[in-house]
Amino acid sequence: MEKGSKYGIHRVIEPKGTFPQSATKISNDMEIFDNEILIDVDYLNIDSASFSQLKDEAGGNKEKIKNKILEIVNDKGKMQNPVTGSGGMLIGRVERIGDSLKDKIDLKVGDKIATLVSLTLTPLRIDKILDIKPDIDRVDINGKAILFESGIYAKLPEDIEDTIALAALDVAGAPAQTAKLVKLGDCVLVLGATGKSGLMCSYMAKKIVGSKGKVIGQARNEKRANFLKSTEFCHEVIIADVLKPIDVLNDTLKVNNGKEVDISINCLSIPNTEMSSILPVKENGIVYFFSMATSFTKAALGAEGVGKDVVMIIGNGYTKGHSQIALDELRESDKLRKIFEEKYV
């Protein structure tokens, strides 16, 4: 076996010298190098922002979504939405391990794993799309993928169904970052609190803030607001259009005694929500953008434009221990687990 770059640079076709994530085309030849892992793929979990864009472009037509996914993968050698730039993650079984990795990793052939690196840098070959589930951003496939030496992964647990674990691990960075950022007594605003990352962040935040803190969850309509209230993951729930930042600000102030929040967490899947995240946050507060639809330019210039001195953090899909934190939430909360079981099986 030939040895490749730890970071997969040897797979880059265009432009040469770049990393796989930023490359426009990578090799998805499934003959592995000696420091790669070959995976027999079962499911892709497409990033929420990406799947929303694909659905809109296809008018909700599943065949058109399927054809677009195949087109992207055939063209790029990976699943990276050309509009949003985002990817997702996958689960499958280890089919082969490169010779130089066999004694370095805790995997064996046959182990079922979830990759915790983005599909935007993962060599992927789709032989057949078996099913598409647009409501939960999942694509069932026959195919193969490559995990680089630097790639992180999680063995799938025996006590949680694979598809449920996949859904949680897809957004594992969000609750883990929330655990790092939120402090006892904080007031936290979660935008997109009814989605899977929003629910997990709300649950984590409420656990941390304590009796003197507050978690405010945003929902886009009354039906979703009632659902969010039923979870009891938030102290307050607001119904607000995230494309109208002043409305989000005013609704937040109403339920927070006229005060701005310490932290806002953006878990939305649509663009142009930067100011709705920034405006409700107090001076020197924190804005955490987990949304892959976030524009750095709009966030930076928007904060400047309204004179907001806030710390803005771009969501990192990887945080130390994030997979364990996400799965432990499902183990801790019967309500959260039931929601995932009802929606993501």
Q: pLDDT tens, 190-204? A: 999 999 999 999 999
Q: Is the pLDDT of residue 98 over 90?
A: yes
**What pLDDT score was predicted for residue 2?**
79
Q: Is the domain of 261 the same as that of 304? A: yes
Residue 61 belongs to a domain: yes
Do 184 and 314 fall into the same domain? yes
Amino acid code (one letter) for 112: K
Radius of gyration of the chain (CA): 20
Q: Are the beta carbons of 235 and 216 closer than 8 angstroms?
A: yes
- pTM, entire model: 0.85
Helix (H) or strand (E) holding 236, with range, is: strand 236-239
Same domain, 131 and 81: yes
Task: Kindly state whether residues 178 and 75 are assigned to the same domain.
Answer: no
For residues 30-58, one letter each, b for 16 or more C-beta atoms within 10 angstroms of the residue's C-beta and e for the rest, the string is bebbebbbbbbbbbbbbbbbbbbbbbeeb
Q: Are 71 and 64 in contact (CB under 8 A)?
A: no
Domain shared by 74 and 200, yes or no: no
Q: Cα–Cα distance between 333 and 201 in angstroms, integer?
A: 13
Asked if 305 and 179 sit in the same domain, the reply is yes
Q: pLDDT per residue over 271-309, tens digit each?
A: 999 999 999 999 999 999 998 889 999 999 999 999 999
In the predicted structure, residue 1 carries a pLDDT above the cut 70: no
Average pLDDT over every residue of 86-98: 95
Q: Which residue range forms the structural domain that includes residue 200?
A: 173-344
| Domain finish residue from 100, 127, 156 | 156
Sign of the Cα pseudo-torsion (215, 220, 224, 225, in order): positive
- What angle, rounded to 10 degrees, do the helices at 196-209 and 322-332 form? 80
Residue 4 lies inside a defined structural domain of this protein: no
Q: Cα(first)–Cα(last) distance of the chain, in Å?
A: 39
